[in-house]
Amino acid sequence: MEASDVLPLTALDAYACWELNRRCFADHETYDLATFRLLLDSPDSVSYQSLDAGRRLVGFLVGLVDRAPGRGRGRLLGSGHIIAVGVAPEARRQGHARRLLAVAEQGFRRRGVAIVHLEVHAANAAAYRLYASAGYSVTQRLTRYYADGDDALKMVKSLLGG
């Protein structure tokens, strides 16, 4: 058996994912269960879970391919959004997030995505280093992006040529 495994994350996993999410973001605003269900149920979801050697859920990544706004399903924009990433406190620094990102990028590529973007809390050094080491670059500081008034950094990575 593999020491860890990355598998697709579906609406059936929404409750477990939401519970893990609450542990990951104990001090920050986060998504509610209904939002997880909605995101994971979307045909545009590019989302994965990471299991440890005991097959326990220890990490998740929720992503969506971007569509033009409007009624119905707008046209695909060729970009993808990483909406949430979390790894259980007891399973950190074991490469779960790095593997989730790599598998999600493959998933985005299969959906025709050329560029991936995300927002990270400006004070979140661990997440910033994770994304920077995976090839994401800061393109913008989003002032007062979060409800508590904190700033976010917008980071992007091109999937072309990789």
Ligand X SMILES: CC(C)(COP(=O)(O)OP(=O)(O)OC[C@H]1O[C@@H](n2cnc3c(N)ncnc32)[C@H](O)[C@@H]1OP(=O)(O)O)[C@@H](O)C(=O)NCCC(=O)NCCS
Kindly list the residues in this chain that would bind ligand X in the complex (CB under 6 A). 24-25, 59, 85-87, 92-98, 120, 124-127, 129-130, 133
How far apart are the C-alpha atoms of 56 and 156, rounded to whole Å?
Answer: 30
Nearer to ligand X, 37 or 92 (CB): 92
Query: Minimal distance in Å, beta carbon 79 to ligand X?
Result: 17
Nearer to ligand X, 67 or 135 (CB): 135
Query: Minimal distance in Å, beta carbon 10 to ligand X?
Result: 20
Query: Minimal distance in Å, beta carbon 34 to ligand X?
Result: 20
Query: Minimal distance in Å, beta carbon 134 to ligand X?
Result: 8
DSSP class of 45: B
Nearer to ligand X, 59 or 63 (CB): 59
Give the residue among 21, 143, 42, 142 at the shortest CA–CA distance from 155.
142
Q: Which residues contact 124 (CB under 8 A, 6 or more apart)?
A: none
Nearer to ligand X, 42 or 124 (CB): 124
Tokens standing for 15?
């409750």
Let me know how many helices (H) and strands (E) the chain has, helices first: 4, 7
